[in-house]
Structure 1
Amino acid sequence: MEKVDWHKNHINDNTIITDSYKTTQNVRRYFKSKFGEQFKFNRDFMHWMKNATGLTMGDASQEWIKCQKSK
């Protein structure tokens, strides 16, 4: 699996979530560009991200939407 620098690499829906995933400002910018200022990390979503190795950031976006609908 290609290494991703979560601080610097361009992130898009096709970016693969690697085992080196970090919750960075760059990742936050990606989600805010998709969902606006209402995007917030929460404990459950951060846990999901840590266990999402091999999935894409597009998958992560869908998971965030799913979490918001279940509130």
Structure 2
Amino acid sequence: MAEKDNEKMSREEAGRKGGEATSESHDKDFYERNGKKVGEATSESHDKDLYEKIGKKGGEATSDGDNN
């Protein structure tokens, strides 16, 4: 959906454009640092049950042949 004079872009399009702009202006180290911060924050705010659920879903998706 292209933005026109009186039309707003969708959230999806805004997110995509923002992601593209970020990827153009940041390198691999940026994503590694931020991924580490998010992982640490998640581990502090959640217990092992969260990781067990994530692992179970990943295992189910892998065994089903899904790529999601």
The TM-score with structure 1 as length reference comes to 0.27
- The structure in which a higher percent of residues are helix is 2
Q: Which has the higher contact order (CA 8 A, sep 6+)?
A: 1
Of the two, which has the highest radius of gyration? 2
The TM-score with structure 2 as length reference comes to 0.28
